[in-house]
Structure 1
Amino acid sequence: MRIISWLRSLPDLTANRVRLKPKLIASYLVAAFLPLLCMGFFLMHKANQIIENQTNRTYGISMQQLMYNMETRLASYEELSNHFYFDTNLNLDLQKDYSDSTNVDIFEVEREFIERVKVLLKFKNDLRTVSIYFHNPSLYNAKPYLTLADDKITSQLGFQRASASSYKGYWGRVKSVPDGNVYWDVELRRTEKTTRVFSYNRPLEFYTDHQSVGLLSIEIKESDLYSLLAKEGMDKGIYLIESDGTIITSNDRASLGKQMAGDVMHRITGKASGDFLLNRSENDHVKVMYNELSNGWRMVYMIPVNRLLQETKDMRNYGLLFIIGSAVLSVVLIVLVSNLILSRMMILLKRIQRMRNGEIETGRFVSGKDEIAVLDHSFNQMAERMKYLIDEVFTLSIKKKEAELTALQSQINPHFLYNTLSTVSWLGRKNGNEDVCEIVESLAKFYRISLSKGKDIITMREEFECIMAYIDIQRYRLKNRIRPIYALDDGIMDASVLKLILQPIVENAILHGLGHEKEQITILIKGGYRNGAVQLEVIDDGIGMTHEVSASLLGEQAHAAQRSGYGLRNVNERIKLHFGRDYGLTVNSIPGAGTTVIIRLPYLIE
C-alpha cells in the first residue's frame, strides 16, 4: 500500500513541480522526436546491413567470376596439351629407334616438331615455350624444344611428380627466366630482363601399351594470369597461391614469389573455401575470402574492412547528419509551437492572477476557436457571472437581509415586550389562570432567546430551550395534539449554533404533519456528534408528503410559503452561508409514514 501511495504521489513530487513549457517541450520530444530517432537509427542500421551484405555479395561474385576465368584459362592450356598427347605421329617419332638413320633423317624429324612449336609460339604470346623431355637416346638434343631426359633431369622432384601425374598432368612451380618467347636457344637471351613463368607438365604415353615416351612441358608466362587479376580494382588484394603458400601471381606485384602471410595460411590450410575476419591490430582488420581451384591452387581475396564498410560509414555519417539536423529542426519547431501555445495561456493566467487580487475583468482576451479560446470564453462568462453576483445579487442580498433584521429589531423593544408579558403573567396568576401564566412565560422565553440581544450565534442549550418554549405554546394552541420527545446528548449542549434553526422545521412538521385524519402528531427531536459533525434530527409521524413536495421545501418556490419569514429554505441557506456548502438540511418523507429532517452542523464552541 505504501508503494501504491508513493506511486500516486510521484507526479506531485516530480512532473507537477515543473513549469508547463519544459513539460510541453519534453512531451513533444518524447512523442514526436523519440520515435523518429528510433526509426532513423533502425533504418540506418538496416541500410548498413543491406550495404554490407551487398558489398560482401559483390566481392563474392567478383571472386567467383575471377575463379571461372582462371579455371577457363588453365583449362585452355590443358586442352593445348591434348594436341600433343593424342598426336600418334609424334608418339611414334619419339619411340622410334634412329640408330641406323642418317643425321638428315633425325634432323628432319626434329625440325618438323620445332616448326610446329614456333608457329604456336608466334600466335600465343602467353606461352614462353613448349618442350618435350624424351627417353629415346637415339634422338638428338634440340634444346629447349627437345631434350633428352638424362639421369640429372629424371632425378629432379618436379620431373618425378610430373611423370607420376599420368593423364591429369602436373602444374609446376613458378620460376624466373629470361623474358620473351624461345625460338631456338635460350642462351641467346641471357641479357634480356627476366619474367616469371609456371609450367604445365604431362607425360606422353604410347596409346597401345601406355609406355612412357617422354614428358611434355608447356611454360606459361605469369603475366597471362595477372592480366585476369588486373581487370579487378585495386581496392583489395588478390593472390593466386600454390598449396605451400607461394604466391604465383597477385595484383600486389611486390609480393610475387613470396610466401603468403602465416596468419592467413594458418586459417586456410586444409580447407577448400570459406571466409573469415582477420584482426591484425586495432586499426587493421581484413576480410579474407578464399577458394580452391581444380588444380590445387587457391585464390585469396583480402579486403580491408575500412574499404568494405566505406559505403556503410558514408551511410552512417549521412544518417547521423540527418538525425542531428532533424533534432535541431524539431527542437526549434517545438520551442516555437510551445511559445505560441503558452503565450495565449499566459494571457489567461495573468487574467486569473488579477482576479485573485480583486480585479475582475470582462471581455475576450484570447481569439480563436481552440480549447484555449474556449477556456478564455468560459472564464469570461464566469467573470461576468461573478461580477454580477458580487455587484447585484450578493451585495444587494446582504444589504436587504441587514435592513430586514434591523427593521425587525427596531420594531421590537425587548424591555417593553418583557415588561408587558410579565404583567400579563402576573394578572394570570392573580386571577388564578395558570394556563395563561404558563403560555405567557413560554412566549417570553421564546422571544428572549430568539432576539438574544441581536446576536446570530447562540449555544445549543439556548436553542433547545427556545424550541421547547415554542412547542409548549403550540401545544396550548392545538390543545395537546402535539406530543414532543427530546433526546439530545449532553456533549453537544455547549456547541455554537445559529439561532432559530429548529423552530421553522418544527413549524413545518406541525403544518404538514397534522391533518383532518391525524388527531395527534409525535415529534422526536434528537441530536448528537456523528461523523465529525453535530447532527440534529426532527422526526414526526405525521401524514408525510410526496418527494416533489419535500424537495420543494428547499427550493426557490418555498420562499413564499413560509408565513413567519423563516422556513426550511431560509434555514438551509443561512447554514450554508455561515458554515459552508458541506453543511445544511436534508429532508426525507414518506406519504402516510412521516417526515425526517436532518441538520448537519460543524462542532464549534465559542
Structure 2
Amino acid sequence: MKGLTKYVSGISIHNKIFIANLLIIVFFISSQSIFTNNISQKAIIEKAVNDSSRELVLIRNNLQTLLSTIEDYSKILASDYRLQNVLYNDLLLNNDSYAHKPVAGLSNLSMNKILSETISNIVEPNTKIKAVSILTANRQWVDVGFADNEYASRLFGDGDERADRFYLPVWTGLIRFKFRYEGEDNVFAVSKTVVHKDTGKTIGRVFLYVKEDVITSIYEEGKNHKGGQFYILDAEGSIISAKNKDLLYRKFDEAFSIAIPDFGQKDVSFTQTSGSKRMLVSTQRFTPLQWTIVSTIPIDEITLERKKINQLIIGIGAVCLLLALIVSFLLSRSITRPIFRLAKTMREIRTGKMQVRSAYQSRDEIGYLSDGFNNLMDRIEALMAENTEKQKTKAEIEFKLLQSQIKPHFFYNTVETIISLIKLNMGREAITAAQYMAEFYKVSLSNGNDIISIKDEMRLTASYLEIQQLRYVEYMAYTMEIDDEIMTYSIPKLTLQPLVENAIYHGLKMKSEKGFVRIGGRRVGEDVHIEIFDNGVGMREDQIQAMMTKERSGFGFRSVADRIRMLYGERYGPKVESEYDAFTKITIVLPLRRL
C-alpha cells in the first residue's frame, strides 16, 4: 500500500486528473459491457439449450417411429403365412429323430423361392431393412438373401432363448455384420420369434438387419449449430451412432473427455471443456432401448451472435472513451498548465541551473506559489554561495593544518634518522637523507602554490619514500611507474604523501614480513589515474566503509578526498579496493588539466 501511495504521489496533477477521469469512464463502460455481455450470453445459451432440447425430442420421436416400423416389419414377417408354412413343414420333416440330417424341405428350390419372395417385400429398397436371416426351429440358418448366414451363425449361434419367453422383437447393440456382396458394415439386428398361429409352437426366428447409417440419417439433416454434433450412446456409454464412424464403439467420456452427470438417469444440459473448446452438452433418454441421445455444440458457435453485440458495445465504448479523453485532457490541461510550468522550472533547477526562475505571473494561488518559489530560490542560492565559501575556507584550513602537522613531524623524524646514521658512522647515508629532506621541503614549499605538476608531486613522494626506506629498510621497498605523458598535468600538492604514509604505517608495518609499495600513474580517457598499491595487511569491508565515511576516516585520507572533490567535483577523488591480509589499492582519479 505504501508503494502504491508513493507511486501515485509521484504523478503530476495533470495526469492525476486525466487518469481519474479515464478510470471512471473505463470502469463505467467496462461494467456496462460485462453486464450486457453476461446477460446476452445467458439468454443465448438458454435459447441454445431450449433449441437443442427440441431437436433431441424430435430425434427421439423419429427414432421411436423407426423402432416401431422395424419391429412392425419383424412382426409382419414372423406372422406371414408362407413363412410359417415353410418353417412348420421344416419342423415336421426334421423332428428329433432326424435332427442331424440335411433339411430336405429347405433345400427344395420352390421353398427357397417362397422364402426369398416373402423376405424381399420388407428389405431394401422398399424399407430401411438391409437384409433378413431366418433361423429354423431346428437351429439351422437359411441363406435366402444378402445376409451371410455363416457369419450370422457364428455371431448369434442358436439365437436368444430368453427372448422366446416373451415373443417380442429384441434389438441387439451395434455390431459388425458381413453381407454377401458388400462386405462388413455396422448394423443393429432385430430378432423376432416365429410362433405358429394354429399350434402355438415356436417354429423359428427371423433377424432383421438395420444399418447404422439409417439411424444417422435421422439427425444428419437436423438444425444443430455449425460445429455441433449428435451422438447416440448405449447403456454402457459407448457410441453406437455418429456421423464420424471412427468414433463408433468408443466410450463417449474417453473420446471427448466429457463426463455426463446422472448418465442414463435423466435428461441434462451442461457446459464442459473438451480439448480446447467449451461445449454445451444436452442429453435425451430413449427409454425403449436404454439409449441416450447426446447433442454437443461449441459455445463459440452458440455465442456467435453475442460477438456482434460485443462489437457494437466496443464501438460505442471506444467513441465515448475517445470523447472522454479529449474532454479530460483539455480540462486537466487548463487547470494544471501553470503548475506544469512551475514544475518545469523546478526540474531545470534540479539539473543544476540554479539561476532559473518561474516566469508565471498571476494573482491566483499559482501566482502566489510562483512568487514564493522565486524568493525561496534566491535565498537558497545565497546560502549555497555562503556555504561554498565556508567549505572552501575549511578545506584550506585543514590543508594548512595538514602541512603544519606533516612538516614538523617529518622534519623531526628525519633529523633523528640523520643523527642515528652519523652515530653509526654511516656518513654517506646521512648525507643522502639530508639531501632527500631538502628536496622534500623544496618541492613542498613550491613558492606557496597549492597546485603543482604530477612530476613535482612524484619528486616530493620519492624523497619521502627514500627517507622512509632508510628508516624502515626491514619493512618496505617501493617502485614508481609513472607514464611520462601525464607528468606535465596538475595535481593538488601533498595528495600522495598522506596516502603513502598510511600504506607504510597501517599496511606494511603491521605485516610480519617485508612488503612493498607500488605507485603507478597513467592516462585513462580524459582522466588521470594514480594508484598506490601495498601488499600489507589489507582491510576488511567494515574498515573500508569506515574509511570512506567522513566522520570516521583518517584525517589525511579525508583531507585528500575533500580537497579533490572541492576542486574538481564529486566524480573525482580516491577510490579504495582492499582484501584483508592481502593488499590495499587506492586509485586517485583526477581531471586531465595542465598547470
The TM-score normalised by the length of structure 2 is 0.44
Higher relative contact order (CA 8 A, sep 6+): 2
Larger radius of gyration: 1
